[in-house]
A = this chain, B = another copy of it.
Amino acid sequence: MSKTNYHMTADEFRKAGREVVDWIADYYEWVESHPVVPSVAPGDIRASLPEHPPQSGEPFASLMTDVDKLIMPGITHWQSPNFFAYFPSNTSFPSILGEMMAAGMGVQGMVWKTSPACTELETHVLDWMVELLGLPDRFLSQGEGGGVIQDTASSAVLCALLAARERATEGQSNQQGIQDRKLVAYTSNQAHSSVQKAARIAGIGDESIRLIGVNADFSMDVDALRDAIQTDRENGLRPFFISATVGTTSSMAMDSLTEIASVLDESIWLHVDAAMAGSATVCPEHRSIHNGLEQADSYCFNPHKWLFTNFDCNCFYVADRSALLGALAILPEYLRTAEHDAGAIDYRDWQIPLGRRFRALKLWFVLRHYGAEGLQAHIRQHLELAAMFEQYVMESDHFELIIPRSLNTVCFAHREGNDWTEAILEQVNRSGKMYVSHTKLNDRYTIRMVVGQRTTEERHVRGAWELLEEAAMRLKEKNDA
């Protein structure tokens, strides 16, 4: 008789599940002593995989073996304590447990009815977040606003821009297409590329997004913004959207929301992207970066960057949820429910995709495991370590700060210029002992040191600095020789 049931049994899952849990725990012990960035070339990993998919099933043990043998050699270890590149995408054990449980339940939260707790826990923890970060009350769900979990800040800014587009055109863009509505959007030239990408997607286009110049600290030059808006209006164009950044990707620069708010009127939607920096405001002493936020129409930050919550988890808020729904709601018969008609939240109307995972669960686990004081303590530790690193740079003969440290991000370069800086970055990354990434600030090739991993301690930051100094020393000796 041929086999008819290929499913893994519950007992097999209990056994395999324990192995995976141990694998994860072991991973965090292992990762510190292994190269952060793998030494593989494009194509190496694929070349080690079988050309054809398996005809018959394989035992789980083979999979575990192959993860170690075939996959791990090609992993860049984002969870290494020596990872200081990009912005972090940190996580924690409670978050992993929440993700496991959500995967186990396998529910869909597209509408209230398809899992009421999935929707309501999300609304609830997003309201909690307003309190934890001291955000304006207008973002609470009790009033006209509310929060939703998006996958990323990219999707959040797209949703914000679409809401703004429909508000500005009274729903006519959705109905008739954009046509020649002369809409213009504004952001700084230091804003994340996702703002420009959103404008492209939404049919606004590069030529109708003004990348406003910046001040010496890389924050938006609000005088230039005001001038640009005025010029556009004089030319018969319609300013409708500003995306401000609280903590730019390159250098963690802070746009002044208070100043930007001074150029607003009701025709312009202000979105605030605090993807990385927002988490710092769990500490009251850092809340000034949000000054002026009560004037914003929408806001987002990423617990998946710096609040110990697995990617993906972007908290996105709007002050007027009807504007967001006006842009994104669409109701086919097969999704109509009595609860929808009665006003329950259907989060599919708050996002681009229809389906959605139970992402609130991991965030709830994190908030309850750490409590406000645990989150504050660890954010403060990261900031102390970043301050320590900044001090090293300031006292160094080789390096100099490009700008003063902002939160957990230190931007610095070799005093001898771009070639030296780039050579040093490549050397320390190649060592495998740390990983930093770069940007360009005023044409200077700049190393960005970002402290935000859960497992990063003082010795890792000190170790990274010693590697950088050694590399600089060797380069100098080579050059002097």
Contacts and interface: CB of A to CB of B under 8 A. Distances in A.
A335 to B, nearest CB: 8
Interface in A30-81: 37-38, 40, 42-46, 49, 52-58, 60, 62-63, 67, 70-79
Contact of A328 (B114, B197, B375): B197
A288 interface: no
B92 A371 contact: no
B20 A101 contact: yes
Contacts of A116: 38, 40, 42, 44-45, 74-76
Nearest to A305: B355
Interface string A106-132: 111000111111101101110011011
Given A194-B353, A312-B357, 20 more contacts: A6-B373, A14-B21, A17-B93, A24-B100, A40-B116, A54-B367, A57-B369, A57-B371, A71-B361, A74-B116, A74-B120, A78-B105, A78-B114, A103-B310, A155-B352, A173-B205, A177-B178, A203-B203, A334-B437, A334-B439
Contacts of A357: 311-312
Q: Copy number in this complex? A: 2
A266 interface: no
Interface string A254-288: 00000000000000000000000000000000000
B373 A100 contact: no
A417 interface: no
A295 interface: no
Given A173-B203, A202-B202, A439-B334, A17 B25 contact: yes
A71 B368 CA distance: 14
B23 A10 contact: no
A204 interface: yes
Most chain B CB neighbours (cut-off 10 Å) among A97, A175, A204: A97
Contact of A178 (B46, B152, B192, B205): B205
A91 B75 contact: no
A342 to B, nearest CB: 7
A159 to B, nearest CB: 9
A334 B208 CA distance: 24
Contacts of A6: 369-371, 373-375, 377-378
A406 interface: no
